[in-house]
Amino acid sequence: MSKLIKWLLTAGLALGVIAGVLVVILNSLIDPNDYKSDIENAAQQNGIKLSIEGNLALKVFPKLGVAVTNIKFSDGQNIAGHIPELDITVGWLALIGGNLSATNLPIDSISLAKATLQYSSATPVPLQLEQIELNINDLTLNGNDFDINLSAQILKGLPLSFSSTAQVNIQDEKVSRVAAHNFTFVVDEITLKGSIDGDLTSQEIKGSITSSSINLKKQIATIQRHLPIFALPLMAGDKAMSSVSFKSEFNINPWGYSHYLHELVLDGQTFDIDVSADQSTNKMAISLKGNSFKLADYLPPPAQSTSDRTQAPAAIFAPLAVPFMLWRGQSNIELAINNIQLESFAVNNFYSNASGYRNQLRLTSLTADLFGGHINAVASIDISGATPSFRLVPSVYDIDLTQALQALSNSQDFTGYFNMDATIEGSGTNIYEIQKSLVGNGQFKVVTPSYRGVNIEETICQATAMFGSRGDSAQQWPEGTQLNDITGNLGFTNGKMLLTNMTTGTGNLKLSGQSQVQLVEQSYILNAKAVLAGATSSNSGCTVNKRLQNQVIPFVCKGSFGANNSSGQSSCAPDQKVIRGLLKNSLLQQLGEKYLTTPNTEAPLNGDSIQDALKGFLKKKLGDS
């Protein structure tokens, strides 16, 4: 056994001596630094600016190769990098066998350490990789398989890794094809698997990618610590964005037509996304279709106070900006979702079509079924500045107010079918800024309205009874008021929605008025006027004193809605100041007619006759008491 050990040691020593001798011989015969300029020129011919600022050193043992230090490279446009140390080894047998060419290199492995790579494009977020460790084994450039393993750090600390079976082809001393099959790409907790095949001759890239289930909320929170631009807005749903996955197939031509097909699964909701982009015409089209979407989970959480409302996150227009950040040409976006769930109601058969260029977006069509009715709208949105602005032209048909008010304010006071046409403009970064900025006007109509809060005819009859009208005190009044169709004008200003020139009626009552709705405070006030146009309030109503016929009787209605509506009730009653004035004038008129006129002729009394009449009136009243 000792002889064998001695033999192995002797053989090893001999090989070491031979390797040392070879190194001395090769270094004396060949100085690899003499080939720096040739290597840099070869890279230049392939569009790469390469600078070898360190040394090239030959290696003989255990494998023949070369070590290069301090390499800098760039494509002169978007890509730049630095490699502190690069090792390339070749196979002895392949080298001895000859038959060497650009596509039949004797390279056994390539490895580099602590490299950096930066990619900067027209997008505002450059990509920089640090601490790059790369190992390539059995490299060939004739289309045969070889293995590649890569690890790095991105965003100053997030781990990244890539492993794949790759293929590279060279034709006419240029790379003609690059492929990565069965690759696994991992960034922090995100895992992507798939295959990519790029034909650089036809400038076409084909492939498919499948992702793991990603907790996007957690992942963006991690990225945000390194890159604040990726802040995720607050959302009402605790589990919103906690499970996101996708499957993609694509055919890309960076300088021509590209097509992408995606299946996105967002928290159990599936969407089909079709994207086509043509660099030659600078146009992109996106189609997104889905069966259902629980939008309520992805909206900002309900504000707990007025301060919270005014400081809501700027999340209204942010999603609209994404396609324009990634694409600098003309875009067309089509959305079709069968059912969109909000907190207390649903939007059905939603469809929209929008086109835009950079930060200018035109909504050419929006249709949806809502509260038993239908809405249409066109709009233009400008998101180029710090404060987005918009112009909206909506049309609303047959909205069931019973459903709408129950869902929006938990109120059941008013029923009917709402119709509207309007033009509205506004600006802001959140819903509360937008509400305060709204300006616009339009017309509206409520068909077959009914107000359950009070029977207006009953209230009028009770008021007229104070003025001497005679009616059936035992009359049974129905609950609420059935009104004629309501028409009026609509306006927005200073955070208020104004309903003006409203007209309606019930029986012989003619009603008109105006209302003011505070959008942020979620409250309203209605000032209405009732005029009795006949001797009775209606065919089956009370008798109206002739003195009150065509007399204006004002009403004031107040209430709240939304988060401020605690009881779901509102108040509506005649204006007490005006009622007292009418009562005073009516009593004076009755006194004058009875005691201050000449019997039979009703001619006014004068002088001492008035004093006598007043004395007689007071004496009579005192005597009666």
How far from 84 is each of 38, 112, 113, CA to CA, in Å?
A: 20, 8, 7
The region of weakest confidence among 61-70, 118-127, 145-154 is 118-127
Question: Minimal CA–CA distance to 155: which of 189, 186, 127, 134?
Answer: 127
Amino acid identity, position 498: L
Question: Minimal CA–CA distance to 128: which of 150, 153, 149, 160?
Answer: 153
Q: How far is CA 484 from the centre of its chain?
A: 40
Query: Tell me, what's the pLDDT at 19?
Result: 47
Which of 574, 596, 613 terminates a domain? The answer is 574
* DSSP for 84-133, written as a single string: EEEEEEE-HHHHHH---BTTB--EEEEEEEEEEEEE--SSSS-EEEEEEE
Element holding 606 (H helix, E strand): none
> Taking residues 61-81, what's their average pLDDT?
81
Percent of the chain with pLDDT over 70: 73
| Residue pair 439/428 in contact by the 8 Å Cβ criterion | no
- Tokens representing 131 are 């601490």
In a domain, 582, yes or no: no
* DSSP for 441-466, written as a single string: EEEEEEEEEEE-S--HHHHHHHHHHT
Element holding 203 (H helix, E strand): none
In a domain, 40, yes or no: yes
In a domain, 22, yes or no: yes
Could you identify the residue written with the tokens 């043509």? 278
Question: Minimal CA–CA distance to 517: which of 438, 573, 456?
Answer: 438
Distance (Å, whole) CA 334 – CA 327: 16
Print the domain residue range for 108. Answer: 8-139
Amino acid identity, position 25: I
Which of 118, 139, 160 terminates a domain? The answer is 139
Give 366's pLDDT tier (boundaries 50, 70, 90). Answer: very high
In a domain, 217, yes or no: no
| Residue pair 524/517 in contact by the 8 Å Cβ criterion | yes
In a domain, 283, yes or no: no
Beta bridge partners of 498: 491, 516
| CB-based contacts of 431, cutoff 8 Å, min separation 6 | 300, 312, 316
Give 15's pLDDT tier (boundaries 50, 70, 90). Answer: very low
Question: Minimal CA–CA distance to 291: which of 375, 368, 350, 366?
Answer: 350
> 561 phi and psi, to 5 degrees?
-150, 175
The count of structural domains within the chain is 2
Distance (Å, whole) CA 148 – CA 140: 12
| Residue pair 170/102 in contact by the 8 Å Cβ criterion | yes
| CB-based contacts of 126, cutoff 8 Å, min separation 6 | 118, 119, 120
pLDDT in tens, 524-542: 888 888 888 888 888 888 8
Examine the pLDDT at 417 and tell me if it is beyond 70: yes
Examine the pLDDT at 373 and tell me if it is beyond 70: yes
The Cβ of residue 309 has, within 10 Å, a number of other Cβ atoms equal to 19
Query: Tell me, what's the pLDDT at 489?
Result: 95
Q: Is 267 helix (H, G, I), strand (E, B) or coil?
A: coil
Which of 139, 171, 190 terminates a domain? The answer is 139
- Tokens representing 176 are 């003609």
In a domain, 281, yes or no: no
Could you identify the residue written with the tokens 């207390």? 344
Query: Tell me, what's the pLDDT at 624?
Result: 47
Span between the terminal Cα atoms of the chain, in Å:
145
Give 1's pLDDT tier (boundaries 50, 70, 90). Answer: very low
pLDDT in tens, 291-308: 999 998 988 776 555 455
In a domain, 459, yes or no: yes
In a domain, 320, yes or no: no
Query: Tell me, what's the pLDDT at 287?
Result: 94
| Residue pair 387/428 in contact by the 8 Å Cβ criterion | yes
Distance (Å, whole) CA 527 – CA 545: 24
